[in-house]
Structure 1
Amino acid sequence: MITIKDSWFTVEEINEETYAISEYGHWEKVHSFLLIGKDRSALIDTGLGIDNIKRICNQLTSLPITVLTTHVHWDHIGSHGQFEHIYVHKEEADWLINGIKKLSIEQIRKDVSRDITIPTPNTFNPETYLPFQGQPSGVLEDGDIIDIGNRKLTILHTPGHSPGHIAIFDEKTGYLFTGDLLYDKTPIYAFFPTTNPVDLVNSLEKIANVPNVSKVYGSHNTLGLDPSILTSFSRRLDTR
């Protein structure tokens, strides 16, 4: 078991090929996930950008890293600029290049700086904080398979929280990474500036039907949820 002690990130081993890299000192309690294959690794999101997540990844793997973006919101693309290979759903490629839609920089800076409970790095200045903008290496579509070597990741287009939101299913482990589509303890926002409530409900129904899920990993709050949460949501949706 690899143990990493860090002043900002918390690293938790899910299995010997999968790590959660979490930012518990911020009110968002964001999780990014490093999945290690035989040939390369996949990093699901890059966190807040308050500190550089790449230095953590470099301690966990020497393989080349492909970043898979669940969606283009500031708290999921914070360290994108540290990586060469970045992929995003085609519906949000423009957001990555030209900026996040419907979110002002004033609001983003307010949100990134509030309710922080541990010291931040000296390099972090909320007054000059800017979300990453840049050209993606490629775009993703529903049903794409990302093979990182003896480990195939299926891309599921799950719009609702944002138009290009994706979930990622790891066929080898049965782990379903749901981004901001599904997590616990705090509300699933259906009326955020970039959300579409109808799409969100349809996407929840979609992931409820993914077979052979062993664990659900949302991007916030509790790390690792029982897959029964999928059927629980499905039953609630059936009664709406």
Structure 2
Amino acid sequence: MKYVTIPVTPFQQNCSLMWCETTKEAAVVDPGGNIDRIMQRIEKEQLTLTMILLTHGHIDHVGGAKALSDMTGVKIIGPHQADAFWLDNLAQQSQNFGFAAAEPFAPHRYLEDGDEIELGHQQLQVVHCPGHTPGHVVFYHQGESLAWVGDVLFRGSVGRTDFPGSNHSDLIHSITKKLWPLGKDVTFVPGHGPISTFGEERKHNPFVADQLLD
């Protein structure tokens, strides 16, 4: 499995392009915008886009998903159905955050905790991690000890919980009870900012470090 991050939108959201090196089949995670930039990277790597994966329904993560799907004919997969109200509300989100108008859409498939996604010869496990939004999911590649965590966890911080449907205690539970058991050596790609590892955050993150939660 290989991946690159492609910062998109004025929020510098970490859209990820991941692919199976054997088959060159690729997925785009959270195409919030700047579709031309994403397509240029797909072409540069000589990949075949086969799916669009969404961690949650906030516009900086999904604002370009429908346009990319319409352009390429690939299906949108995720998030969990509990985020449907965010996808239904994309027009209002566009206005609220100063983004280009985005049409509401429904993904071709919602995801559940424990689902598996096949990308070429690679497998991604789906972990439902509510808190930042109620339908937030994380994509975990066990073989590479890699996780795409959206806005659940950041280097030195955690996701905001001041949005409709957010819940701080749910977020902390998701991080400590669903992500930490995956292992300290897991490298994670957050929705914004630099990568880190679960082990580093368990040592130093001022919101979820082990010594704060014991």
Percent identical among aligned pairs is 23
Instruction: Verify the 8 A CA contact 1:151 1:171 in the aligned structure 2.
Output: no
Backbone CA RMSD of aligned residues:
2.5
Q: TM-score, normalising length from structure 1?
A: 0.73
Q: Cα–Cα, structure 1 residues 197 and 227, in superposed 2: closer, same or farther, change >3 Å?
A: closer
Cα pair 2:131 2:172 within 8 Å, conserved: yes
Aligned to 1:74: 59
1:195-240 Cα distance to aligned partner (Å, 9 max, x none): 1112111111121111374311111011x2133234232515524x
Of 230-239 and 87-96, more deviation after overlay is shown by 230-239
2:48 corresponding residue in structure 1: 63
Cα distance per residue 1:110-139 (max 9 Å; x no partner)? xx4xxxxxxxxxxxxxxxx21342231111
Instruction: Give the alignment of 1:6-155 within 5 angstroms.
Output: 17-23=2-8, 26=10, 28-37=11-20, 38-39=22-23, 40-47=25-32, 49-52=33-36, 53-80=38-65, 81-83=67-69, 84-88=74-78, 89-96=80-87, 98-100=88-90, 104-109=93-98, 112=99, 129-155=100-126
TM-score of the two chains, using structure 2 as the length reference? 0.81
**Quick one: distance in 2 between partners of 1:57 and 1:190?**
34
Name structure 2 gaps, 5 residues minimum.
Answer: none
> Residues 35-92 of structure 1, C-alpha deviation per residue, up to 9 Å, x if partnerless?
1024422211102x24533333233243232111010101001221212310112222
Alpha-carbon distance between aligned partners in 1 of 2:158 and 2:213, rounded to the nearest angstrom: 19
- How many Å separate the matches in 2 of 1:211 and 1:135? 33
Instruction: Count the aligned residue pairs.
Output: 200
Counterpart among 206, 214, 219 of residue 191 in structure 2? 219
More displaced stretch, 143-152 vs 86-95: 86-95
Q: Counterpart in 2 of 1:169?
A: 140
CA deviation string 1:13-37 (max 9, x = no partner): xxx72111124x83x2211111102
Are 1:176 and 1:213, in contact at CA under 8 Å, matched by a contact in 2?
no
Displacement, 1:186?
A: 6.1
Identify the range of structure 1 (55-64 vs 171-180) with the bigger mean alpha-carbon deviation. 55-64
Distance of aligned partners of 1:150 and 1:170 in 2 relative to their CA distance in 1, 3 Å threshold: same
Counterpart selection for 1:196 from 167, 177, 183: 167
Report the counterpart of residue 180 of structure 2 in structure 1.
208
Higher helix share: 2
Could you tell me how far apart the structure 2 residues matched to 1:190 and 1:229 are? 22
Q: Which runs of 5+ in 1 are unaligned?
A: 1-15, 113-128
Contact 1:71/1:164 (8 A) holds in 2: yes
- After TM superposition, the structure 1 stretch with the greater mean CA deviation from structure 2, 71-80 or 50-59, is 50-59
Superposed displacement of residue 105, structure 1: 4.2
